[in-house]
Each structure stands twice: as structure tokens, then as C-alpha cells.
Amino acid sequence: MKISDMYKEKKPVISFEVFPPNSAHSIETIYETVHELAKFKPDFISVTYGAGGSTRGKTVEIASLIKNKYNIESLAHLTCVGASKNEIDKIIEEYKINNIENILALRGDFPKEMSNFDKENGDFLYASDLTKYVKEKTNFSVAGAYYPETHMENNDLMDLFNLKTKVESGTDFLISQIFFDNEILYRFKEKTDKLGINIPFAAGIIPVTNAKQIKRITSLCGCSLPPKFKRILDKYEDKPEALMEAGIAYAIEQIIDLISWGIDGIHLYTMNKIDTTKKIMENIEHIREI
């Protein structure tokens, strides 16, 4: 099924993100994770794609497992930075062979070792180029990323206009970067409404379960920490069990508020953690069905 059709049929659409295990862990670890996550009946599960195609085979394998073994729709991420049309064609073909019909089209971050020449001489400069290309060549449903607090490389206004271009190139629905202050997303949505961007928006939520993780994430994505959240971090930074409880409670509160507000979808960055996901899903069991 096309995920774009799902958004027409229900609200909120509940989805998870998983990532392929790194070389320190065997591929079997993700089989177990997917098996457990499937029990929470997400509407779809997305699978990340390593920068420059580093996880390509694993992304296809995991997306295929989700779709063909568990009968849950999968959304395969695909980045285009530095890629040729030929390379993208091959990946699209692999997705088709595996019955995958939904992709998240991304530019990707530039790998540190990539030269300016390589950055500018791939066949795609932006996610919108990839979206247009995939839409022309396939019948896939295509998602795009959005940034409630602005993408790091740009200012607020330019980023909004670029998002509009991305949507006009064929994006069917959008998934956000993580954020911890729902009001920021609501203000962002007012702006996109004014620009006439009216495709489904999913909110990307991450349960913070350790202090080191949050420092790394905020430095990578530039999202801000509201005072309420900072107080939690300050108080429980050195008490891992307490921080985990507080982080899960915070994510649940964020999700309930977003659903009450009328968000089209909740996309949970599971970090491949079964227990955390379980606690969240148990707390929105009925809320997600209303």
C-alpha cells in the first residue's frame, strides 16, 4: 500500500524509524528488534540509509523484511548526495524487486571526506531533484524531510521556500526532524499553511533516554531545548533510570498534545529500543485510535 493513501484514510498515522545495525552488531539484532516492534502495530516502519549508500544492502533487506514478512508497510530512506542517476536507478530497482513502494527522498549530509567537486557533480543537488526523478520514473509514494527549527545550512525564510519547491516536485507527505517544543511545530505549520503546503505532516519524536545521547543529537540537528525539558535534564542527568522515566514521560506528553492538536502522523525515532517504544505505545493505546 502507498503510505500517501494511508494518510487519506486515518489520523494519526503512527510510524517508527529503525536503523541498520553498525558493523559491531550482527544483522540478526535488527531481526529481533523488528519482530518485537511489529507487535505494536505501527502503520509503517521506516529504515534509514547510511550517508553515501553505506548501508544500502542492509536498508533494502530490512525494509523488505518489514514489508514481506510482517506485512507492515516499509518506508525506505534514500539519499542522493554525490549519487549518479545510474546508482539511483539500481537502488530503485532493488526496492521494486522487494515489493517496496514507499521511499523517503533525502539529500543526505555531506560526508566529511567528500570534495566540493563531488558535492556539486552528482546528478542531484537537493532532495527535490531526487523526488522529481523518482516520481517521473516510478509509481512510488515519496516522503520528504522538514525542519521545524530550520535546516542548519539555511535561514528560516529560504528553508521554507525550499520546502515548498520540494513539495511541488512531487513529495506526498513530510516527516520532521526531532524537536522538543510542540509550539515551534505549531508556528511552523502556520507558515506552511500560508504558503499553501497542504500535504500530510508527521511529527518526529524521540524519547530521550540518556544525557549523552541528547547532547549529541542537539549538536547534530540544532534543535532547541525548552526550559521545561532542560530542567529535567539538569535534575536527572546523572541518574540514568530516572532520566529514562522522565524522557519517556516527556515524549508521551508531546505525542498526546500533538494528536490533540490534530497532527497527521507521529513518527517515533525508536533508536531500535524495544522497551522504550513499548512504554510509549502502551500509553497511547486508545489515544491513537480516536
Per CB under 6 A, residues contacting ligand FAD are 48-49, 51, 77, 79, 104, 106-109, 126-128, 145, 151, 153-154, 158-159, 162, 165-166, 175, 177, 204
Distance of closest approach, residue 145 Cβ to ligand FAD, in angstroms: 3
Closest CA to 78 of 117, 26, 135, 30: 135
Positive or negative CA dihedral for 81, 83, 84, 86? negative
Distance of closest approach, residue 177 Cβ to ligand FAD, in angstroms: 4
Catalytic residue among 17, 61, 73, 101: 17
Query: Residue 219 corresponds to which cell in the numbers above?
Result: 549538536
Distance of closest approach, residue 290 Cβ to ligand FAD, in angstroms: 25
Residue identified by cell 480516536 is 290
The DSSP annotation for 114-155 comes to --HHHHHHSS-SSHHHHHHHHHHH---EEEEEE-TT--TTS-
What backbone phi and psi angles, to 5 degrees, belong to 169? Answer: -80, -5
Which CB sits closer to ligand FAD, 171 or 244? 171
Which CB sits closer to ligand FAD, 12 or 204? 204
Distance of closest approach, residue 211 Cβ to ligand FAD, in angstroms: 23
Which CB sits closer to ligand FAD, 177 or 232? 177
Question: Is 17 designated active site?
Answer: yes
Which CB sits closer to ligand FAD, 79 or 209? 79
Nearest-angstrom CA–CA distance, 221 and 200: 22
As annotated, the active-site residues are: 17
